[in-house]
């Protein structure tokens, strides 16, 4: 009887949608959507209650899948699957509790942006932990027989497992909703999401519930990871990376902190991606609407499949601009904890630091002269990378350290610098000056546009909107050539042969092997043609480029420093100290922040240009979100708001990487160990460290965020505080001229 009803309902449904979306595609969308719901609801509730943006959520999702694979493999797909469905989320839940207890908790009360930094460090740690434990070869999660294979209904075949995901995920989501809605715990958690302070004032220690919420969110992510990877594809280390950004999009669309928003957003994005955009939709034909009105609509609809992966970011940007609270989010009190900038105190005086800086530059200038003699970690290539990233970090610091805007999308500018200069060199002219000029122009323009839309939103929302812009650009990189070809074919502007040769971005491969000369209009030199002979060393090619890069970075440092001493910089410092007061002095902070963003964008673009000139190749990796995260890490590592701190941070970052990757670092230990018969194990450890350097880098970074948030530049001051007798500040003669800028 029911079967008949369902039959007729499905008939109506399929008749109604046949021309638009097929039932299979609808089911597909709901399946993916339900996985998103489980992933995003935990992320959203964690944000709602603790105001923590958890980048590590994707890694917890991956851990869920890996634990499950580890359980299912020995036990088999029958019982093993059901055991895994219970045990894996529990294990990941415990991990979540531990993460909250030992890393997130020390940061409550600080600006929420520190949580972004912390959880980004955790991403590095957890991702390498996965590789360390399970290796990099793909795994599978076997399903019970009952849940595999197709199912025949109303003359169509569906995947049984899709029904399982929708049913099980739906029941779980319903359970969480009921927990939040009807239990005492749920009440306290919901109240905490509204107003934490008020809950505390009622005598409830909400902090105790934080671990629970974090653990629950982690367990939900684990379930999502398990059921999704068991259904399609393999368990590989990158699955967390790949899905986390989509999860953020959903959380933002639904409204940060809203459970209902995560459900609607998850299903909505799933349907949009899988049922509408990927398969594409046929032209609309509405009886009452004339053809010429529908034509442009259909043209846009026809383009949708080509925009796969981009539409959600456009949506995200739109929501952040017009409705920052998302569909269901409520207004939340934005904590504006202090951003801890690097300090300039300590036992180093201004002139002392200046001399130190000059000495450093001098030392760096000598490095190429000793090339061939220096140990490999200190090679010229490494320092060129350090300098380039130092410039990138300096650019980010200009906006982050001086106006408090944490951009999670600065890879956009690095990518523009690399790609625009790359494409100019590859397609149009080999003049490095023209390439750099065009790139800087484009970078500045994009910075103005992105700044125009982004500066109006604050704090976490700013981080999210810049992330969305960068991802939009990143996704478009693999599509631009296709668009250009399409454009070429449909317009008489270019010939068919020209269309075939188009290589603006080189798709997912990127652009390889462009060369450049230093000059204009064909007049100039290639660095390989020059040779400066200095005793045993000949400066040419890369070694000359080294000096160019060093010069650019030093010049950029002095230019930005000068800007910060100008009236413009004085206002930026004022904004950092007290934005509200700046308004009541008659300055519009938005205008100044936007200008700072453009300056920052231009210098970040310059870093990207240098990268392209140095490497002679670009690939879409240049603009991925990991880059944006890494540069933030460098700024914090060195100490933000100091300009030189971030450069120091970049040197430390790559220095650590090189050292950890360099097995000879452990040479002495291996030798010492071999004397007592432990050479083998120590060698093993050194090989592991070399391979898993991100694990150690991430751990170092987490320790920095928790214990040394002002970065390396604050070390002299800390030393001074710890050793008061030797560096007694009262013994330091007051400097009447100093501290004026």
Partner 1 sequence: MATDDPMLRTDGLVKEFGNFAAIDGVDIAVQPGEFRSIIGPNGAGKTTMFNLISGGLDATEGAVYFDGEDVTDLPPEERIQRGMGRSFQISNIFGGLTVRENVRLAVQSRMRDSYSFREALFKPTGRYDDINDETDEILGRIDLADIAEEEAAALPYGDKRRLEIGVVLATEPELVLFDEPTAGMGPEETQSTIDLIEEVLVEQTLILVEHDIELVMEISDMITVLNHGQVLAEGTPEEIADNQDVQDAYLGGMTE
State which residue, 570 or 703, has the beta carbon closest to partner 1. 570
**DSSP assignments along 674-731, one per residue:** HHTT-HHHHHHHHHHHHHTHHHHHHHHHHHHHHH-TT-GGGHHHHHHHH-TTTT-GGG
* Backbone phi and psi for residue 58, each to the nearest 5 degrees, phi listed first: -65, -35
| Least distance between partner 1 and beta carbon 660 (Å) | 36
State which residue, 497 or 740, has the beta carbon closest to partner 1. 740
| Least distance between partner 1 and beta carbon 573 (Å) | 6
Q: How far apart are CA 162 and CA 29, in angstroms?
A: 10
State which residue, 515 or 578, has the beta carbon closest to partner 1. 578
What sign results for the dihedral spanned by CA atoms 370, 686, 136, 91? negative
State which residue, 79 or 351, has the beta carbon closest to partner 1. 351
Distance of CA 186 to the CA centre of its chain: 31
SS3 content of the chain, % helix, strand, coil (to 5): 70, 5, 25
Q: How far apart are CA 246 and CA 470, in angstroms?
A: 14
State which residue, 496 or 734, has the beta carbon closest to partner 1. 734
| Least distance between partner 1 and beta carbon 406 (Å) | 19
**DSSP assignments along 72-122, one per residue:** HHHH-TTHHHHHHHHHHHHHHHHHHHHHIIIIIGGGTTS-THHHHHHHHHH
State which residue, 195 or 741, has the beta carbon closest to partner 1. 741
Token output for 676: 């007592």
Which residues would be at the binding site for partner 1 (CB under 8 A)?
Answer: 559, 562-563, 565-571, 573-574, 576-578, 580-589, 736, 738-741
State which residue, 2 or 584, has the beta carbon closest to partner 1. 584
CB atoms under 10 Å from CB of 96, counted, come to 31
State which residue, 334 or 741, has the beta carbon closest to partner 1. 741
**Between the CA atoms of 248, 252, 257 and 258, what dihedral angle is there, to the nearest 10 degrees?**
-110
| Least distance between partner 1 and beta carbon 520 (Å) | 24
Cα 410 to Cα 556, 558, 589, 608, distances in angstroms:
17, 21, 21, 11
**DSSP assignments along 502-513, one per residue:** --SS-TTT-EE-
| Least distance between partner 1 and beta carbon 87 (Å) | 49
| Least distance between partner 1 and beta carbon 388 (Å) | 24
State which residue, 581 or 726, has the beta carbon closest to partner 1. 581
State which residue, 4 or 736, has the beta carbon closest to partner 1. 736
State which residue, 428 or 558, has the beta carbon closest to partner 1. 558
Token output for 456: 């109006």
State which residue, 168 or 452, has the beta carbon closest to partner 1. 452
| Least distance between partner 1 and beta carbon 557 (Å) | 14
| Least distance between partner 1 and beta carbon 735 (Å) | 9
| Residue 153 bridge partners (DSSP) | 156
| Least distance between partner 1 and beta carbon 12 (Å) | 46
State which residue, 94 or 559, has the beta carbon closest to partner 1. 559
Q: How far apart are CA 72 and CA 63, in angstroms?
A: 14
| Residue 150 bridge partners (DSSP) | 159
Question: HSE on the CB side for 604, CA within 13 Å?
Answer: 35
| Least distance between partner 1 and beta carbon 220 (Å) | 35
Residue with tokens 């239990």, as numbered in its chain: 183
| Residue 511 bridge partners (DSSP) | 618
Instruction: Give, in degrees to the nearest 5, the angle at Cα 171 between 165 and 174.
Output: 130
| Least distance between partner 1 and beta carbon 134 (Å) | 48
Distance of CA 651 to the CA centre of its chain: 21
| Least distance between partner 1 and beta carbon 566 (Å) | 6
Residues 584/369, Cβ–Cβ less than 8 Å: no
Token output for 379: 């090679």
In three-state secondary structure terms, 256 is coil
| Least distance between partner 1 and beta carbon 381 (Å) | 34
| Least distance between partner 1 and beta carbon 346 (Å) | 15
Q: How far apart are CA 54 and CA 258, in angstroms?
A: 15
State which residue, 174 or 570, has the beta carbon closest to partner 1. 570
| Least distance between partner 1 and beta carbon 120 (Å) | 27
State which residue, 397 or 624, has the beta carbon closest to partner 1. 397
User: Which of these, 661, 662, 635, lies nearest to 650 by C-alpha position?
Assistant: 635
Q: Is 84 exposed, middle or buried (0-12, 13-18, 19+ CB in 10 A)?
A: buried
What sign results for the dihedral spanned by CA atoms 537, 538, 539, 543? negative
User: Which of these, 245, 243, 225, lies nearest to 234 by C-alpha position?
Assistant: 225
Q: How far apart are CA 543 and CA 541, in angstroms?
A: 6
């Amino acid at each position: 009887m029911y079967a008949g009803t369902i039959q007729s309902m499905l008939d109506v449904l399929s008749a109604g949608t046949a021309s638009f979306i097929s039932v299979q595609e609808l089911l597909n969308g709901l399946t993916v959507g339900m996985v998103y719901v489980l992933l995003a609801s935990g992320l959203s509730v964690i944000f709602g209650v603790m105001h923590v943006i958890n980048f590590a959520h994707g890694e917890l999702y991956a851990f869920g899948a890996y634990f499950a694979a580890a359980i299912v493999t020995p036990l088999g797909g029958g019982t093993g699957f059901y055991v895994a469905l219970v045990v894996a989320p529990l294990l990941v839940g415990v991990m979540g509790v531990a993460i909250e207890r030992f890393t997130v908790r020390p940061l409550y009360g600080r600006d929420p942006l520190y949580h972004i930094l912390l959880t980004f460090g955790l991403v590095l740690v957890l991702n390498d932990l996965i590789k360390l434990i399970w290796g990099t070869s793909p795994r599978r999660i076997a399903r019970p027989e009952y849940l595999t294979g197709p199912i025949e209904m109303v003359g169509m075949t569906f995947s049984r497992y899709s029904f399982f995901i929708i049913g099980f995920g739906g029941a779980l989501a319903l359970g969480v909703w009921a927990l939040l809605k009807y239990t005492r715990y749920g009440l306290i958690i919901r109240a905490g999401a509204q107003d934490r302070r008020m809950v505390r004032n009622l005598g409830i220690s909400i902090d105790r519930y934080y671990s629970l919420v974090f653990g629950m969110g982690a367990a939900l992510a684990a379930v999502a990871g398990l059921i999704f990877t068991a259904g399609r594809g393999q368990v590989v280390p990158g699955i967390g990376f790949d899905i986390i950004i989509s999860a953020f999009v959903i959380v933002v669309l639904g409204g940060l902190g809203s459970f209902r928003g995560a459900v609607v957003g998850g299903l909505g994005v799933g349907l949009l991606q899988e049922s509408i955009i990927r398969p594409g939709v046929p032209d609309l034909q509405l009886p009452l609407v004339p053809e010429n009105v529908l034509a442009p609509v259909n043209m846009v609809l026809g383009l949708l499949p080509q925009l796969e992966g981009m539409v959600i970011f456009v949506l995200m940007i739109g929501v952040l601009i017009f409705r920052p609270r998302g569909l269901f989010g409520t207004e939340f009190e934005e904590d504006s904890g202090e951003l801890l900038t690097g300090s300039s105190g300590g036992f180093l005086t201004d002139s002392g630091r200046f001399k130190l800086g000059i000495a450093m530059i001098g030392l760096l200038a000598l490095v190429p002269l000793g090339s061939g003699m220096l140990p490999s970690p200190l090679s010229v290539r490494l320092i060129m990378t350090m300098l380039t990233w130092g410039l990138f970090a300096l650019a980010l610091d200009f906006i982050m350290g001086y106006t408090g805007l944490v951009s999670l999308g600065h890879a956009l500018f690095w990518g523009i610098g690399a790609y625009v200069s790359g494409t100019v060199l590859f397609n149009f002219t080999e003049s490095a000056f023209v390439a750099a000029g065009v790139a800087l122009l484009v970078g500045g323009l994009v910075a103005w546009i992105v700044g125009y839309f982004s500066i109006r939103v604050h704090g976490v929302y700013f981080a999210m909107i810049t992330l969305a812009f960068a991802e939009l650009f990143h996704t478009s990189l693999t599509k631009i050539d296709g668009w250009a070809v399409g454009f070429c074919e449909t317009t008489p502007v270019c010939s068919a042969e020209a269309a075939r040769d188009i290589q603006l971005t080189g798709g997912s491969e990127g652009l390889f092997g462009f060369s450049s000369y230093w000059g204009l209009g064909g007049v100039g030199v290639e660095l390989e043609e020059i040779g400066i002979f200095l005793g045993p060393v000949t400066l040419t090619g890369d070694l000359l480029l080294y000096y160019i890069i060093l010069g650019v970075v030093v010049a950029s440092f002095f230019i930005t420093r000068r800007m910060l001493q100008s009236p413009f910089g004085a206002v930026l410092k004022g904004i950092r100290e007290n934005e509200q007061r700046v308004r009541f002095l008659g300055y519009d902070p938005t205008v100044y922040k936007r200008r700072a963003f453009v300056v920052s964008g231009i210098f970040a673009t310059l870093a990207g240009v240098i990268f392209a000139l140095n490497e002679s190749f670009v690939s879409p990796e240049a603009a991925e979100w990991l880059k944006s995260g890494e540069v933030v890490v460098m700024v914090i590592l060195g100490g933000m708001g100091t300009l030189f701190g971030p450069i120091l941070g970049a040197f430390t970052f790559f220095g650590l990487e090189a050292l950890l990757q360099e097995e000879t670092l452990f040479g002495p230990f291996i030798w010492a160990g071999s004397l007592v018969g432990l050479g083998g194990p120590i060698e093993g450890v050194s090989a592991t460290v070399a391979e898993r350097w991100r694990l150690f880098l991430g751990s170092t970074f987490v320790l920095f965020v928790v214990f040394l948030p002002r970065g390396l530049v604050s070390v002299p001051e800390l030393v001074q505080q710890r050793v008061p007798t030797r560096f007694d500040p009262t013994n330091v003669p007051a400097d009447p001229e100093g501290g004026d800028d």
